[in-house]
Amino acid sequence: MTRYIIRRLLQAIPLLFFISVILFVLMRSSSDPVATMGGRRVMRPEDRERLSRQLGLDQPLYVQYLYWLIGNDWTAIDVDGDGVAETPGTQRGVLRGEFGKSLVVRGEQAMDIIMERVPRTLLLMIPAEFVIILFSLVVGIFSALRQYSIADNVITAVSFVGYSMPIFFIALVSMYLFAVKFKEWGLPYLPTVGMFDPQMGKTPSQVMLHMVLPIFSIAFISIAGYSRYVRSQMLETMHQDYIRTARAKGLQESAVVFLHALKNASLPLVTIIGLDIPLLLAGAVVTETIFSWPGMGLLFIEHVSRGDVPVVMGILMLISVAVVLFQLLTDVTYAWLDPRIRYE
C-alpha cells in the first residue's frame, strides 16, 4: 500500500502541472485584469500600456505562466483617482508558496485573502456534509428495508422531486417560507443573509442561527440523490449469498444490516463523498451568493468577475490539489472497506 500511495503522489505532479497550464490559459484568455484596476474611471491608454508592461501582460503567454510559476521581480500597481501609483515588490511564484498579489484588494497577497475565507467556508460546509451523510444513510437504509411500501414510495417521490430542483430554487423557497412567511405569521423566523446580525454581534448562537438555511439548501438536494444510491446498493447487497449465510447463522438483523450489508454497500457512497469533500474548500457558490455567506464561493464570484487572476488561480489550484489527495484517500478507504481490493 505504501508503494501505491507514493506512486500516486508522484503521478499527481504532472497532473497538477497540466491542470495549472489549462487554468492559467483560460483565465488569461477570458479576463482583462488591467481593465478592472481603474475602478469606475476610464483608464488612459498610456496608463493601460504601463500597467500591462509592469505586470508582464505584454509578454507571451508562456512567459506569463513562468512568471506565475517560478516568480519574478515585478511592480505592484495602485490606480487611484489621480492616476497610477507604483510600489516596487517581488512575486516569489507558486513553487515558492505565493500566488501573487491581488489585483482587486490592494497590497494583499492572494493566499492571505483565500486563507481568511477558508475557515468561514469550512464552518458551513463541514456540518452540511455530516448532515448529508447521516440523513442519506438513514433514509436510504430505511427505504431499502421497506421496499415498495408506502413509506418507500413516498421517499422515492420526494427524492426525485428534490433531486430535480436547482439549488437556487431551494434556497429562495426556504428564505421565503422560513424567513418571510414565518415572520408574517408571528412565528420564530430564520435570518437570511450574512454570518451574524451586526446589532447582536458575532456570537456562537448568531452564527449557528445564520447557518440553518444555507445548510438546509445545500443538504436537501444531496440527501435526495445520495439516499437513492444507498437504497440501490443496499437492495443489491441484501440479496447476496453471504447475507443469507449471516442470517442462517442466527445473527441479529441489526448486525446483518449494519456490520455486513452496509459496509459493502457503502463503496459507491464513498466515491461520491470523496469527490464532494474537496469541493468543501470551494464552498457552495450559488448558496453563498444567495445568503451572502462570506466564504470561498462568494470570494470566487467576486474576484472572477473582476479578472483577479492571482486569487482565482489560488482557489482553483487549492481545489485541484484537494481533489487529487482525496481521490487517493478514497482508494485507500476502498481497501479498508473491502478486503478483496488490493493495490499491490
Among 69, 98, 127, give the residue marking a domain's end.
98
User: Is 107 within the bounds of a domain?
Assistant: no
Residue 87, domain extent = 2-98
| 131 and 85 within one domain | no
Mean pLDDT score, 252-273: 81
* Rounded distance between C-alpha atoms, residue 18 and residue 320, angstroms: 11
pLDDT tens-digit map of 144-195:
988 889 999 999 999 999 888 888 899 999 999 999 999 999 999 999 988 9
Among 98, 121, 137, give the residue marking a domain's end.
98
| 311 and 235 within one domain | yes
* Residue 20, amino acid: S
Cβ neighbors of 22 (< 8 A, separation 6 or more) are none
| 134 and 70 within one domain | no
In this prediction, residue 40 has a pLDDT band, given cuts at 50, 70 and 90, of low
Mean pLDDT score, 228-245: 88
User: Is 11 within the bounds of a domain?
Assistant: yes
The 10 Å CB-count burial string (b at 16+, else e) for 60-81 is eeeebbebbbebbebebbebee
Task: Write down the pLDDT at residue 29.
Answer: 80
Task: Write down the pLDDT at residue 327.
Answer: 84
Among 80-89, 149-158, 268-277, where is mean pLDDT lowest?
80-89
Phi, psi at residue 197, to the nearest 5°? -80, 120
CATH number reported for the structural domain that contains residue 325 in this entry = 1.10.3720.10
State percent of the chain over pLDDT 70: 87
State percent of the chain over pLDDT 90: 22
Task: Write down the pLDDT at residue 22.
Answer: 92
- CA neighbor of 94 nearest in space, from 25, 11, 17: 17
| 138 and 66 within one domain | no
> Is residue 266 within 8 Å of residue 259, measured between CB atoms?
no
| Residue 6 burial by Cβ neighbours in a 10 Å radius (0-12, 13-18, 19+) | exposed
Given the C-alpha cell 456562537, which residue does it identify? 204
Q: How many structural domains compose the chain?
A: 2
Task: Write down the pLDDT at residue 91.
Answer: 60
pLDDT tens-digit map of 2-20:
787 888 888 888 999 999 9
User: Is 342 within the bounds of a domain?
Assistant: no
Q: What H or E segment, with its residue span, contains residue 6?
A: helix 2-30
User: Is 316 within the bounds of a domain?
Assistant: yes
- CA neighbor of 136 nearest in space, from 213, 230, 233: 230
| 129 and 11 within one domain | no
Highest-pLDDT range among 59-63, 205-209, 333-337: 205-209
Cβ neighbors of 62 (< 8 A, separation 6 or more) are none
User: Is 15 within the bounds of a domain?
Assistant: yes
> Is residue 176 within 8 Å of residue 170, measured between CB atoms?
no
Task: Write down the pLDDT at residue 2.
Answer: 78
| 208 and 60 within one domain | no
Cβ neighbors of 199 (< 8 A, separation 6 or more) are none
User: Is 286 within the bounds of a domain?
Assistant: yes
> Is residue 320 within 8 Å of residue 99, measured between CB atoms?
no
Task: Write down the pLDDT at residue 201.
Answer: 84
Mean pLDDT score, 260-270: 79
Among 35, 65, 98, give the residue marking a domain's end.
98
| 215 and 190 within one domain | yes
| 123 and 12 within one domain | no
Task: Write down the pLDDT at residue 191.
Answer: 92
User: Is 156 within the bounds of a domain?
Assistant: yes
| 309 and 191 within one domain | yes
User: Is 208 within the bounds of a domain?
Assistant: yes
Residue 124: pLDDT over 80 = yes
In this prediction, residue 249 has a pLDDT band, given cuts at 50, 70 and 90, of confident
| 179 and 93 within one domain | no
Task: Write down the pLDDT at residue 173.
Answer: 93
Average pLDDT over all residues of the chain: 82
In this prediction, residue 344 has a pLDDT band, given cuts at 50, 70 and 90, of low
| 214 and 181 within one domain | yes
Mean pLDDT score, 283-302: 87
Helices and strands in the chain, H and E counts: 17, 2
| 61 and 135 within one domain | no
